[in-house]
Structure 1
Amino acid sequence: MTYEDRRWHVPEDDLRAYARGGLEAPALWSADTHLTACAHCRAVLADLGDPVALDAGWERLDTELDAPRPGLLESLLRLGVRDHTARLLAATPALRRSWLGAVTAVLLLTVAVTVGRTESGRLTFFLALAPLLPLAGVALSYGPRMDPTYEMAVVAPMHGFRLLMIRTVAVLAAGLGLNGLATLALPGYGLLALSWLLPALALTATALALSARLGPVLAPALTGGGWVALLVTADAVRSGGQETLAPFTAAGQGVSAAVAVLAAGLLVLLRDRFDLSRDPAV
């Protein structure tokens, strides 16, 4: 008896199923691995199977082996959205653990500084910073310099505006959620601690609308700079007895809501400019 006769071989029934393309994993993987090193089984398979079907089987195996393995976030997203949408969302830089960890650390530090101030102190520091974090997240979620899947997004059968909205909603959900949790640590300030929400929406909508013409980096940068300049100006012109800056008063909240609505309307009007296949610069 030769060594070849003593070796384990794929059962003939499995080889027949393999030739028909009906062999399921893990038996399929075992047969594939064995066939690469066993000339005897390859010869039996050649007698049993159709060469075209065998080639199709090998191509199917290559596809399965080369297919990327989804991570935890992508696997969770696939429970509610399509596979290609989950892949584009999971690749968003602003949804990575490093970014979310950095945002969490900044918010914790800000809350610690705010809570540590005297009772007469204002929470201006927190209110000024909180709207900038969702804005930064949106800026990092879109564009050729920030997006690792930019080339895939360009050739994907998806309108650029739809991709922008999908990622914006995901980033806003994460950013606003973290800001909301941080706000819960400031119960002593009442509803004033929530006055960052409307400015955050206004800044994000404005940056997105401006991105149609200025690009995904310059527009958020200018919007964030405008927000800082507004706060500095409001601090310089407020009266001595006024503790709350104008953007966080009732009138300022109304202005923020109006700006958010107007910017959202402008964004819808300019939605065709986000079609990456026609305007790669954006």
Structure 2
Amino acid sequence: MTSWHVPDDDLRAYAGSGLGPPLLWSTETHLFACASCRARLASLVPVDSGWARLDAALDAPRPRPVERLLVAVGVPDHTARLLTATPALRLSWLASVAVTLVLTALLASAVNPVVFLGAAPLLTLIGVAVSFGPGVDPTYEITVTSPVHAFRLLLLRCVAVLSANTLLCAAATLFVPGHGLTIAGWFLPSLALTVVTLLLSPRLGPAWAAVLVGAVWVLAVTWAGMLPFSTAGQLSLFAAVAVLSVLLARRAALFDVLPTRRLR
């Protein structure tokens, strides 16, 4: 069994996990019986290095279902990790939003569609409010001291929250039949409220900005009724989103100035 020894190149490949079967199997069998080759292997792979890799493997966080889904659709793993730290992308949060939307849609079908159209953007707004900031983001302290731009992270999370809520709202509209395309009028208000909240975040913080914008939206819907969801209202919202998005892009640098003081 020990009349031959594993060549140095094969040992190096084995140490670097680059040796494939059947050579891998014969090498492992030989190492089990040959103390000399085990000693040579130990010189190639220091014990401290091996323990360090083992500790890293044991301490590495296990991807959650949402993170695995994001990686499966092509999102880089580091970006998926940042996104899944968002409370509004957790399965428990999404499930509660889905239940709320369905109950609101059922109430709207029996009472008035404006109930659903007014409530759906508010749920998105709440998700945006808890997307970034101390007390709601478990990675906030790490983020503000890392080379990740605050604006990029906040924008990524807002897009993810918008996408998730759009899918849930689209499914909930099935419970409000008989209103045609009007029942999809929640989308542009959701987008507009999100952009306005982002614009106010450097000064007020995401949470307080969302509270202010949400309060104004409730007053507007209470006073105007179905007007924001009419053709004229939707065109106005579309124009507002376009203008505000350009303004937001120009103000991106504000999100990286003293983030620990401003985004709270």
TM-score normalised over the length of structure 2? 0.81
CA contact (8 A) 1:19 1:48 kept: no
Query: Structure 1 residue 150: deviation in Å?
Result: 0.9
* One-letter amino acid of the structure 2 residue matched with residue 94 of structure 1: A
**Paired position in structure 1 for 2:260:** 280
* One-letter amino acid of the structure 2 residue matched with residue 101 of structure 1: A
* One-letter amino acid of the structure 1 residue matched with residue 251 of structure 2: L
Pick one of 98, 106, 114 that aligns with 1:112.
106
Pick one of 89, 92, 95 that aligns with 2:86.
92
Relative distance call for 1:48 and 1:166 in structure 2 (3 A) is closer
Pick one of 239, 251, 264 that aligns with 2:232.
251
**Paired position in structure 1 for 2:203:** 213
Query: Structure 1 residue 207: deviation in Å?
Result: 0.7
Relative distance call for 1:46 and 1:190 in structure 2 (3 A) is same
Task: Report which stretch shifted further, 129-138 or 150-159.
Answer: 150-159
Q: Structure 2 matches for 1:126-145, cutoff 5 A?
A: 126-145=116-135
CA contact (8 A) 1:20 1:53 kept: no
Give the secondary structure class of the aligned counterpart of 2:61. Answer: coil
Aligned residues: percent identity?
Answer: 47
Relative distance call for 1:19 and 1:61 in structure 2 (3 A) is farther
Is 2:70 the counterpart of 1:77? Answer: yes
Is 2:56 the counterpart of 1:63? Answer: yes
CA contact (8 A) 2:150 2:255 kept: yes
Is 2:161 the counterpart of 1:174? Answer: no
CA contact (8 A) 1:77 1:86 kept: yes
Residue-pair matches, total: 240
Relative distance call for 1:101 and 1:196 in structure 2 (3 A) is same
**Paired position in structure 2 for 1:271:** 252
* One-letter amino acid of the structure 2 residue matched with residue 74 of structure 1: E
Q: Structure 2 matches for 1:185-204, cutoff 5 A?
A: 185-204=175-194
Structure 2 distance, partners of 1:126, 1:189, is 12
Is 2:215 the counterpart of 1:234? Answer: no
Is 2:140 the counterpart of 1:156? Answer: no
* One-letter amino acid of the structure 2 residue matched with residue 190 of structure 1: G
Task: Report which stretch shifted further, 133-142 or 255-264.
Answer: 255-264
**Paired position in structure 2 for 1:241:** none
Structure ID, larger Rg: 1
Structure 1 distance, partners of 2:209, 2:190, is 15
RMSD of aligned residue pairs (Cα, Å): 2.7
Report Cα offsets for 1:16-39 as digits up to 9, x if no partner: 959973468xxxxxxxxxxxxxxx
CA contact (8 A) 2:15 2:45 kept: no
Report Cα offsets for 1:23-64 as digits up to 9, x if no partner: 68xxxxxxxxxxxxxxxx999966863287222222111111
Structure 2 distance, partners of 1:273, 1:43, is 63
Structure 1 distance, partners of 2:254, 2:46, is 46
Report Cα offsets for 1:136-173 as digits up to 9, x if no partner: 11111111221111122223332111111111111100
Structure 2 distance, partners of 1:228, 1:42, is 77
Structure 2 distance, partners of 1:100, 1:157, is 29
Structure 1 distance, partners of 2:134, 2:47, is 41
CA contact (8 A) 2:102 2:175 kept: no
Structure 2 distance, partners of 1:188, 1:272, is 46
Contiguous gaps of at least 5 residues in structure 2: 19-33
Structure 1 distance, partners of 2:200, 2:41, is 64
TM-score normalised over the length of structure 1? 0.76
